[in-house]
Amino acid sequence: MNAQQVLGQFQATGVQTCFHGRHINPQIYAGLDGTNWRLKDYEAREGYAALKKILTDVNDAGVKGLTQDQVIATVKESALRGRGGAGFPTGLKWSFMPRQFPGQKYLVCNSDEGEPGTCKDRDLLMYNPHQVIEGMIIAAYAMGITVGYNYIHGEIFQTYQRFEEALQEARAAGYLGDRILGSNFSFQLHASHGFGAYICGEETALLESLEGKKGQPRFKPPFPASFGLYGKPTTINNTETFAAVPWIIRNGGQAFLEVGKPNNGGTKIYSVSGDVEWPGNYEIPLGTPFSKLLELAGGVRKGRTLKAVIPGGSSAPVLPADIMMNCTMDYDSIAKAGSMLGSGAVIVMDDSRSMVESLKRLSYFYMHESCGQCTPCREGTGWLWRVVDRIHNGHGKPSDMDLLNSVADNIQGRTICALGDAAAMPVRAMIKHFRHEFEALIQRAETPTPALPREGRVSNEARSA
Ligand SMILES: Cc1cc2nc3c(=O)[nH]c(=O)nc-3n(C[C@H](O)[C@H](O)[C@H](O)COP(=O)(O)O)c2cc1C
Ligand code: SF4
């Protein structure tokens, strides 16, 4: 079946589609065809209507616009949770910004997107950049911020160029800059591109990098809300988090909440990769069963069965198939099952996958990406990789299982940032659910090779003859 037929099949079943994915009730991907990213196209999709609603529209009671408190209250009501990884409530985060602070305050968008498996933010910036810009302007208004930056992953230069073009359009139309839409509110937004280090996605490392320094995480507290960019109060949100905001302001917090489930408002974009027929980005309401998402992605590769899933990017603990098939795709359900929804990168593994090999690959990544500031992470990630590597290469020892758990114990919770936890958690989960695969390889390494039958042996004399 070709891509067009696949889309046709989904259209026939009432599932909304766009040029590169299949969605249910999309709020961010709605109406995208891969080319209609420009300002005029976005305006035709109700673009910047939310900004007009808060700055210029007069409501039925004759009141103009929305106050900062009203915007924050609407976002709180929507139960929007940060789409960057931790799922922190966005409205609550915005309320931490000390609005009366007399000096400069900053807004930062985290488009670093380095988590293996995640590929949604780059699509948002390529195909719907104005929705991110509008979300940022609304956030800046709500928190009384006048300067913002979008920190864009450095390895994909096109997204940076596209975002710059969209910024120019927004400035020319009066949506950005001084006295936006004739109001008293001004906001300057700039694009900045990183250099491709995974650690620069961690919010304080990102701030260091944005300041032109080496991208290494800061000790917390103080948190960015009080000591952020250049030491000033700063709010950082993920690209998809900002992109969700215009819909919320246009339709109300309650409407957004109702699309998802309690405490998990709205839709979420899942980057489905691995052993499925149609990998891609899928936007579906939070709370949708995992089985439905798998179905949208065409199911597990033909002739194979589902073995395991990493539900939220490489740092999320793996879950076996039977647990995953009973989960719904939302923050609370996945946490209850023992993992994390994280960035929404769903890595599907079928029965042909070796868990030891998969863990070896993951451990190598974390060893490579450790910034080296703290000893447990710098030394421990290398240790984890070396032990998993020797098990995989047939040189494991029975004590290696305890050793892996002990090294993971000594990393988790003992580091400056969560990269240490991200390296330790997959190890513990793999051992918890797939211990038998590690033990089988270790046992094979321990079993002495049987002696060759007499006639098969070659004497030293014969060899040298
Ligand atoms: C090692 C590491 C890498 C991260 N990478 C990203 C990233 O690429 N994008 C992102 O939005 N958040 C990333 N985060 C989470 C951010 O620190 C931060 O929590 C997030 O940007 C906040 O936005 P949100 O509240 O909208 O989710 C990362 C965290 C860690 C520890
Ligand atoms: S946990 Fe690792 S990545 Fe994070 S600050 Fe420490 S050494 Fe750097």
pLDDT for the residue numbered 46: 95
| Three-state SS at 171 | helix
Kindly give the parts of the chain with pLDDT less than 50. Answer: 1-3, 6-7, 10, 12, 14, 456-465
For ligand 1, what atom is nearest to the CA of residue 203?
A: 17
Quick one: DSSP state of residue 182? G
- Cα gap 275→293, rounded to integer Å: 13
- Cα gap 222→295, rounded to integer Å: 44
DSSP per-residue codes, 387-434: HHHHHHTT---TTHHHHHHHHHHHHTT-SSSTHHHHHHHHHHHHHHHH
- Cα gap 339→244, rounded to integer Å: 24
Q: Dig out the tokens for 395 from the structure.
A: 């040189």
Contact 240 CB / ligand 1 (< 6 Å): no
Contact 154 CB / ligand 1 (< 6 Å): no
pLDDT for the residue numbered 12: 47
pLDDT for the residue numbered 21: 62
Q: Dig out the tokens for 438 from the structure.
A: 């590690």
From the centroid of its chain, how far is CA 381?
22
For ligand 1, what atom is nearest to the CA of residue 153?
A: 8
Nearest residue to 52 via CA among 169, 205, 182? 182
The region that residue 59 occupies, defined by phi over 0 for left and psi between -120 and 50 for alpha, beta otherwise, is beta
Whether pTM > 0.75 for this model: the answer is yes
pLDDT in tens, 292-310: 999 999 999 999 999 999 9
Specify whether the CB–CB gap between 107 and 142 falls below 8 A.
no
Contact 173 CB / ligand 1 (< 6 Å): no
- Cα gap 50→254, rounded to integer Å: 16
- Cα gap 313→273, rounded to integer Å: 10
Q: Which ligand places an atom closest to the C-alpha of 379?
A: 2
- Residue identifier of the C-alpha nearest atom 4 of ligand 2: 417
pLDDT for the residue numbered 32: 85
pLDDT for the residue numbered 8: 53
- Cα gap 387→375, rounded to integer Å: 18
Nearest 5°: CA angle at 242, between 241 and 245?
95
- Residue identifier of the C-alpha nearest atom 6 of ligand 2: 374
Nearest 5°: CA angle at 40, between 35 and 44?
95
For ligand 1, what atom is nearest to the CA of residue 242?
A: 26
Quick one: DSSP state of residue 187? B
Contact 237 CB / ligand 1 (< 6 Å): yes
- Cα gap 76→257, rounded to integer Å: 10
| Three-state SS at 42 | helix
Specify whether the CB–CB gap between 423 and 381 falls below 8 A.
yes
Amino acid at 324: M
Nearest residue to 398 via CA among 443, 449, 447, 448? 443
| Three-state SS at 121 | helix
Report the residue among 112, 115, 198, 199 best suited for mutation to probe ligand 2: largest number of ligand atoms under 8 A from its CB: 199
pLDDT for the residue numbered 447: 74
Other C-beta atoms lying within 10 Å of the C-beta of residue 110: 26
Write the burial class of residue 258 (CB in 10 Å: 0-12 exposed, 13-18 middle, 19+ buried).
middle
Other C-beta atoms lying within 10 Å of the C-beta of residue 392: 18
Please give all residues whose beta carbon lies within 6 A of any atom in ligand 2, as ranges. 199, 217, 370-374, 377-378, 415-417, 419-420
User: What's the length of the chain?
Assistant: 465
pLDDT in tens, 247-292: 999 999 999 999 999 999 999 999 999 999 989 999 999 999 999 9
| Three-state SS at 197 | coil
Report the residue among 415, 421, 425 best suited for mutation to probe ligand 2: largest number of ligand atoms under 8 A from its CB: 415
H/E stretch holding 446:
helix 419-446
pLDDT for the residue numbered 396: 94
pLDDT for the residue numbered 438: 95
pLDDT for the residue numbered 455: 52
Q: Which ligand places an atom closest to the C-alpha of 139?
A: 1
* Helical segments of 309-418, H only: 321-324, 331-336, 355-369, 375-392, 400-411
| Three-state SS at 172 | helix
Q: How far is the CA of 177 from the centre of ligand 1 (A)?
A: 27
Contact 208 CB / ligand 1 (< 6 Å): no
Cis before 222 (ω within 30) = yes
- Cα gap 83→121, rounded to integer Å: 10
Starting at the edge strand found earlier in the chain, the sheet holding 345-350 runs: 280-285, 267-274, 345-350, 306-310, 319-320
Specify whether the CB–CB gap between 29 and 18 falls below 8 A.
yes
Write the burial class of residue 363 (CB in 10 Å: 0-12 exposed, 13-18 middle, 19+ buried).
buried
Q: Within 13 Å of residue 138, how many CA atoms lie on the same side as its CB?
A: 35
The radius of gyration of the chain from alpha carbons, rounded to an integer in Å, stands at: 25
pLDDT for the residue numbered 286: 94
